[in-house]
Amino acid sequence: MAQENITFTLPDLGEGLVEATVLEWQVAVGETVERNAPLVEVETTKSAVVIPSPHTGRVVELHAEEEQAVPVGRPLVTFAVEGAPDAPGIVGRVPAEEARPARRVRLRPPTD
Amino acid sequence: MTELIERAAAADTPAVELSMQQAINRALRVLLAEDPDVLVFGEDVGALGGVFRVTDGLQEEFGDKRVFDTPLAESAIMGMAVGLAMNGWRPVPELQFDGFAYPAIDQIVNQVARMNYRTRGAAPMPITLRLPSFGGIQAPEHHGESLEALFAHTPGLKVVAPSDPGDAYSLMLQAVRSDDPVVYMEPKARYWDRRPVRLREPSDPIGTSRIVRPGRHATLVAWGAMVQRCVQVAELAAEDGVDLEVLDLRWLKPLDAEGLAASVSRTRRAVVVHEAPLTAGLGAEVAALVTEHCFRDLSAPVQRVTGFDVPYPAGPLEPQYLPTIDRVLLAVQRTLEY
């Protein structure tokens, strides 16, 4: 399946923050990371937070060194993501379709 | 009269494989092309093509005067639809998620639904509100609701919820061409449902249900994403020698009392399944209609399998909240044993 590169930019982690400093990368270039797995710990003027990965994919590039300050909106990580035609868009996930769904209840046919 | 899903004889186009997203997109294309008054607008429907890709490519094809983005203001989106409709346009607004419809309820209930009545027919509201609806995609709070009872209870609105891509296509054509306001509830959980589709012009009148699967021991009544769940239940029940009919209501207002009664009069048992909470949900309306029309034929009281009387839960709790296969099977068993 086709791959596409997606660059994740630093979001505003508080209200009106302008930058964050990278404390520790929790992934390395070449690694495959799952969506929602810890990506990077950053420090803002308010707190230190771990940003979860927004994608499942392979890390292609880290755009900042540790200890480096990154302005909000600037690239943080580039992922190579499998091009999925059934990607859910922005919110939620595609429900898994079970070919044969599990059941516990058995029916007794009516006598009439 | 209800129709069978296998109505191959009426096929007017070759089958193409489409998801529900794509089928609705095709319908919107047809509507934009056939009627220069049709306008598609909402949050992110233009440049982005919609968060669920339903309006993908429409702005490129029809231009940003007819397919356009709006501010993040649901009340303003519906208010704009009212003004456009009064000036002769045929608006197809989208509210991005059903949970975001609440800020627009004033416009929907006080203006969209009443304008025709208020003006004695001088200002009809040919508006089709596209509303990505219901749960099943494990989205956060406010991104899954089940508002059909609220809209069906509002005089002046028509309400429809398709359950598969082919029907979504025809029903969208029908909704937008109607001069009455229609709330078109798109079941998010079925957006990716991909199957061979014959793109058909609507053939059944507004307010017609359809039998998705014929059966003789009981009728499962559903709409939207719960139709597929009921089909699964029917397939499992067949293994036990129980033959279930699945009736897709499709139109929740007007509701097909005749089709419902015809089915339940034959099967003599009914189980209605919906995602919304139990109390004062549309299942109560279905149960009342069945009782009214089929009282002498019934072998058991109508059973309701629904969400619980709690706020629609966020993602991780959805599988516990939505009617499960076992809960539907238990309700069927109760009607069989009554």
Domain locations along chain A: 3-82
Determine whether the interchain pair A89/B143 forms a contact, defined as Cβ–Cβ distance below 8 Å. Answer: no
Q: Are A8 and A54 in contact (CB under 8 A)?
A: yes
Q: Is the peptide bond before A38 cis (omega within 30 degrees of 0)?
A: no
Determine whether the interchain pair A108/B97 forms a contact, defined as Cβ–Cβ distance below 8 Å. Answer: no
Q: Three-class SS of residue B211? A: strand
- pLDDT confidence bin for A89, thresholds 50/70/90: low
Q: Are A30 and A59 in contact (CB under 8 A)?
A: yes
- Asked whether the predicted pLDDT for residue A83 surpasses 70, the reply is no
Same domain, B174 and B144: yes
Determine whether the interchain pair A91/B140 forms a contact, defined as Cβ–Cβ distance below 8 Å. Answer: yes
Same domain, B124 and B43: yes
Q: Which residues of B247-264 are buried (b: 16+ CB within 10 A; e: fewer)?
A: bbbbbbbebbbebbbbbb
Locate the chain A residue with the closest alpha carbon to B243: A109
* Domain end among B172, B197, B222: B197
Across the interface, which of B97, B232, B333 has its CB nearest the CB of A105?
B333
In this structure, what CATH number is given to the domain that contains residue B32?
Answer: 3.40.50.970
CA distances from A91 to A17, B68, B317 (A): 24, 21, 16
Angle between helices B165-177 and B20-34 (to 10 degrees): 30
Locate the chain A residue with the closest alpha carbon to B53: A89
Across the interface, which of B19, B51, B240 has its CB nearest the CB of A91?
B51
User: How confident is the model over B208-249, as pLDDT tens digits?
Assistant: 999 999 999 999 999 999 999 999 999 999 999 999 999 999
User: What does chain A look like in DSSP terms, one character per residue?
Assistant: --EEEEEEEPP--SSS--EEEEEEESS-TT-EE-TTSEEEEEE-SS-EEEEEPSS-EEEEEE-S-TT-EEETTSEEEEEEEE--TT---SSS-PPP--SS------------
User: How confident is the model over B308-319, as pLDDT tens digits?
Assistant: 999 999 888 998
Say how far residue B232 (Cα) sits from the centre of its chain.
19
Q: For all residues of chain B together, what is the average pLDDT?
A: 94
Is B325 in the A-facing interface, judged by CB distances under 8 Å? yes
Q: pLDDT at position A66, please?
A: 93
Same domain, B232 and B318: yes
**Which chain A residues have a beta carbon less than 8 Å from that of B189?**
95
Is A83 in the B-facing interface, judged by CB distances under 8 Å? no
Determine whether the interchain pair A95/B236 forms a contact, defined as Cβ–Cβ distance below 8 Å. Answer: no
Number of domains comprising chain B: 2
B162 assigned to some structural domain: yes
Determine whether the interchain pair B236/A101 forms a contact, defined as Cβ–Cβ distance below 8 Å. Answer: yes
Closest-CA distance of chain B to residue A25, Å: 27
Q: pLDDT at position B5, please?
A: 45
Q: Are B247 and B5 in contact (CB under 8 A)?
A: no
Same domain, B22 and B149: yes
Same domain, B95 and B172: yes
Q: What does the alpha-carbon distance between residue B19 and residue A89 come to, in Å, rounded to a whole number?
A: 14
- Asked whether the predicted pLDDT for residue B255 surpasses 50, the reply is yes
Q: What does the alpha-carbon distance between residue B48 and residue B65 come to, in Å, rounded to a whole number?
A: 15
Same domain, B187 and B281: no
Same domain, B137 and B161: yes
Q: For all residues of chain A together, what is the average pLDDT?
A: 84
User: What does B28-84 look like in DSSP terms, one character per residue?
Assistant: HHHHHHH-TTEEEEETTSSSS--TTSTTTTHHHHH-TTTEEE--S-HHHHHHHHHHH
Torsion angles phi and psi, residue B253, rounded to 5: -155, 115
Q: Where are the beta strands (DSSP E) in B85-217?
A: 90-94, 128-133, 158-160, 182-187, 194-197, 210-213
Name the token pair of B148: 């059909």
User: How confident is the model over B109-119, as pLDDT tens digits?
Assistant: 999 999 999 99
Q: Are B211 and B306 in contact (CB under 8 A)?
A: no
Instruction: Give the side-chain half-sphere CA count within 13 A for A95.
Output: 25
User: What mean pLDDT is predicted for residues B22-26?
Assistant: 97
- Asked whether the predicted pLDDT for residue B6 surpasses 50, the reply is no
Same domain, B68 and B90: yes
* Domain end among B197, B231, B252: B197
Across the interface, which of A92, A108, A109 has its CB nearest the CB of B137?
A92
The CATH architecture annotation of domain A3-82 reads Beta Barrel (2.40)
Same domain, B185 and B244: no
**Which chain B residues have a beta carbon less than 8 Å from that of A103?**
236, 325-326, 329
Is B137 in the A-facing interface, judged by CB distances under 8 Å? yes
User: How confident is the model over A21-47, as pLDDT tens digits?
Assistant: 999 999 999 999 988 889 999 998 888
B234 assigned to some structural domain: yes
B139 assigned to some structural domain: yes
Same domain, B322 and B223: yes
Point out the residues of B that are catalytic: 143
Residues in CB range of B34: below 8 A, 6 or more apart: none
Name the token pair of A20: 């964050």
Determine whether the interchain pair A103/B329 forms a contact, defined as Cβ–Cβ distance below 8 Å. Answer: yes
In this structure, what CATH number is given to the domain that contains residue B332?
Answer: 3.40.50.920
Same domain, B32 and B160: yes
Range of the domain at B238: 210-337
Q: Three-class SS of residue B203? A: coil
Is A84 in the B-facing interface, judged by CB distances under 8 Å? no
User: How confident is the model over B285-327, as pLDDT tens digits?
Assistant: 999 999 999 999 999 999 999 999 999 998 889 989 999 999 9
**Which chain A residues have a beta carbon less than 8 Å from that of B333?**
105, 107-108
Q: Are B327 and B283 in contact (CB under 8 A)?
A: no
Q: Where are the beta strands (DSSP E) in B105-250?
A: 128-133, 158-160, 182-187, 194-197, 210-213, 218-222, 244-248
Locate the chain A residue with the closest alpha carbon to B188: A94
Q: pLDDT at position A47, please?
A: 86
A89 or B41, greater pLDDT:
B41
Q: What does the alpha-carbon distance between residue B28 and residue A101 come to, in Å, rounded to a whole number?
A: 34
**Which chain A residues have a beta carbon less than 8 Å from that of B337?**
108
User: How confident is the model over B134-147, as pLDDT tens digits?
Assistant: 999 988 888 999 99
Q: How many residues does chain A have?
A: 112
Closest-CA distance of chain A to residue B184, Å: 20
Q: What does the alpha-carbon distance between residue B285 and residue A6 come to, in Å, rounded to a whole number?
A: 48
Is B312 in the A-facing interface, judged by CB distances under 8 Å? no
Same domain, B64 and B175: yes
Is A112 in the B-facing interface, judged by CB distances under 8 Å? yes
Q: pLDDT at position B7, please?
A: 47
Q: pLDDT at position A112, please?
A: 67
